[in-house]
Chain A
Amino acid sequence: MDKFFEIIFTTDFAFSIFRVTTPILFAALGALISNRAGIVNIGLEGIMLTSALTGVLISAYTGSALAGLLGAMLGGMLISAILALFTLELKTDIILGGIAINAFASGGTVFLLYVLTGEKGTSSTLASKMLPDLHIPLIERVPYLGPIVSGQHVLTYLSILAALGVYFLLNRTPLGLRIRAVGENPKAAQSVGIRVKQIQYIALVLSGLFASLGGAFMSMGYLSLFTRDMTAGRGWIALAAESMGRGTAVGTTLTSFLFGFAQALANALQLLKIPSELISTVPYITTVLGLVIYSYRQARKLRKGR
């Protein structure tokens, strides 16, 4: 037990929470935007995975990490635009469309990797680039705070900014107001001249953009290469985070950090002599527990309301 606390109460552990939360937070923000427009984007997982590979490939072939990042972002937006086309225009069920995207991404990334490199597991033969870590002057030297807050990956900082940005977008801008109106009462939105479908397109593409940043972080920050199915359910955890966060930017961000904490804990506990299979269930058990507590409180509130 002592050892456990030794691991938890370190700046390294706190540092790792931010790092591990990054992809979850990005994807959860993506889930948030599309959910508020009334569309559950089940395809987040697939979008992340596709972007992770796109980033690696483009950075390897151009030799530029930035080009890789931009490629990943474009790829993510493109996939969600396709999903939007299928669901909004051709009236596919969004759940089926999302599942198709996920299945396609899982197999398609491996296939593409194999065609280009002859490998089926990882992109280790490619000389792909990583996005840098940032060291913040002055703060870097503050004891305790410095080692946690400084030296994080550039996309980790961006994820925090993105959370603030999404908060601003949803609550302060005309687009955000319209997204929320479309999600809550599309008929009302339509009756005042808002083009519902157009708003949903925008929301889905933005959702894809955020998920793609999470994917890019996975292969160009968290790791320095692409491995098959490397997102490992983060897209799904993001959906849980959004729902537990009650569809608000603040709630979603906080819940993402809770899940990030669980993931970081699982990573840290691997230093102890606990079976790794057991440890790797921690984030998922946290998800289940979180949802149970959330729905219990909701039910109690409903009972009180009567």
Chain B
Amino acid sequence: MTEILLEMRNITKVYPNGVVANRDVNFALAEGEIHAVAGENGAGKSTLMKILFGMEEPGTGEIYLRGSKVRFGSPQDAIGAGIGMVHQHFMLVPSFTVAENMILGMEPRKGVAVDYAEAARITREYAEKYNLHVDPLQKVENLTVGMKQKVEILKALVRGAKILILDEPTAVLTPQETAELFEELKLLKQDGHTIVFISHKLKEVKAICDRITIMRAGRTEGVFPIGEVSEQDITRLMVGRDVVLKYEKDPGPFGKPVLRVRDLSLAGPQSKLLLHGIQLSVREGEILGVAGVEGNGQSQLVEAVMGRFPEAAGAIEIDGADISGLDIESIRGRGVAYIPEDRMRQGSAGEASILDNVISTRYKRKEWNAGPLLNRKKMWKLTESMIEAFKVKTSGPAQQIGMLSGGNMQKVVVARESFSEPRLLISEQPTRGVDVGAAQLIHRKLLELRKEGCAILLVSADLNEILELSDSLVVMYEGEIVAYFDKPSELSEQELGLYMLGMKRQDAEQIGRANHV
């Protein structure tokens, strides 16, 4: 192996909110390689790369560049040391031309003015040299995503980057653009550049990388030359479970379907399909799990059910009635409750009290009013009973919800949604980032609702949770359902992983079982 160019040793990073993003992580980069960093969302890949690029300070640990210790206090330090990063969300000024974006902050001058001709020339020179064809005079806002990415790579190169970090570069690309990107990366490698390729798409990693570092739950699970690990090995290391939860639950029988989704499709920007022909049903007393690596259409599915995409094709029915075109209030009016993925932004209003958050889904209904006013007393009682039932640690209903810890905040959200005796509960990542105690409490509540005949759609990235709670399970990959299982508890996570990463799919008939008549 060639010499070690860069090394990160024993990196630990704890965020102020207590989340341990990196735990004793080691990462080494050999000169001239393409090195994959793979792991699920939340595994700590992004944090590690942010530390490398000077955007985050590590709690403990050191970085060595060519054997000597370095400290990157800001991205400028990292850029100065020859490191460039292509962010997932592009750092471009939309109204500027490609050339203007290229030279921003290091403008060539003619007298006191910017030498735009020189800027265009530099852009052309680099575009030519690295075979990244862009038009210097085009405005960035008119470019396709693939072109913008090229501009980002060129931006890093023109600033002298020898090490390039690409954060999920293919997530936004079409297959053709991805193929093109890979050719460009190979060219960069030949030219002596070292590339860090963050991804959870194993086929791509296999196709282009020399080595792979696998991360899970903030730790390094292993570093391998790419030829020495199979995709199965990588899957196992990426998704393996740690803690085993066990719950008692009686099997079925399930009632009639409450939610039915027929042929749901949704086109995203550049007419890439975010959802493609989704068919499923959730019956009374059934928990249907939706598994998948994040970003494969699960969020869009949930948002479509909640009425966020009136333009989606297909039909969504609740208790046999079409709900397309209804707003979220009317949908909730049909007995739908919703625990959103992002409790801070969608699930709660941080500056409002617990009580106000609790009544936000109820206040319009007569039973909570006293004449033209709100029935404060009744609401107070309801909130108190929720706090008690969920053991929320708080000073009382009037406390600002934003002052609670993440777990307690989530308890309030779950309480609000489950206390209304819903027909259908859409539950998205219900226990993400909460402690084990709160997670168990939330799980028990979901099972309780199930027993009462509520239909539950459970979207979760936590395999443990999904395998343990679900009565049946669909797996989503690139906007499609690729598998349906009616006995998830008998499924191994390795097997599930193969479907999640797109390496296996069932035939249409098997998948069709997700739709119960």
**Which residues of A are in contact with B by a Cβ distance under 8 Å?**
168, 172-174, 177-178, 180-181, 184-185, 187-194
Contacts and interface: CB of A to CB of B under 8 A. Distances in A.
B104 interface: yes
Interface stretch (B107-115, B194-202, B211-219): B107-115
B416 interface: no
Contacts of A192: 79, 91, 104-106, 155, 159
A181 B96 contact: yes
Contacts of A185: 91-94
Contact of A184 (B93, B107, B112): B93
A248 to B, nearest CB: 11
A39 B76 CA distance: 25
Interface of B: 75-76, 79, 87, 90-96, 100-101, 104-107, 109, 112-114, 155, 159
A185 to B, nearest CB: 5
A13 to B, nearest CB: 38
Contact of A190 (B75, B94, B96, B109): B75
Classify the interface of chain A: helix, strand, loop or mixed. helix
A168 B113 CA distance: 8
Contact of B104 (A168, A173, A194): A194
B107 A172 contact: no
Contact of A178 (B75, B87, B105, B113): B105
B-side binding surface: helix, strand, loop or mixed? loop
A199 to B, nearest CB: 10
A190 B54 CA distance: 12
Nearest to B113: A172
A188 B91 contact: yes
Nearest to A184: B93
A181 B91 contact: no
Contact of B105 (A168, A187, A193): A193
A240 B100 CA distance: 29
A181 to B, nearest CB: 5
A249 to B, nearest CB: 15
A191 B113 contact: no
A191 B93 contact: no
Q: Pick from B101, B105, B106, B107 the residue with the most CB of A within 10 Å.
A: B105
A177 B105 CA distance: 9
B307 to A, nearest CB: 21
Given A173-B114, A190-B75, A193-B79, A178 B104 contact: yes
Contact of B114 (A172, A189, A190): A172
B100 A177 contact: yes
Contacts of B94: 184-185
- Closest 10 A/B residue pairs (Cβ): A192-B105, A174-B107, A191-B91, A188-B91, A172-B113, A193-B76, A194-B105, A181-B93, A185-B93, A193-B105
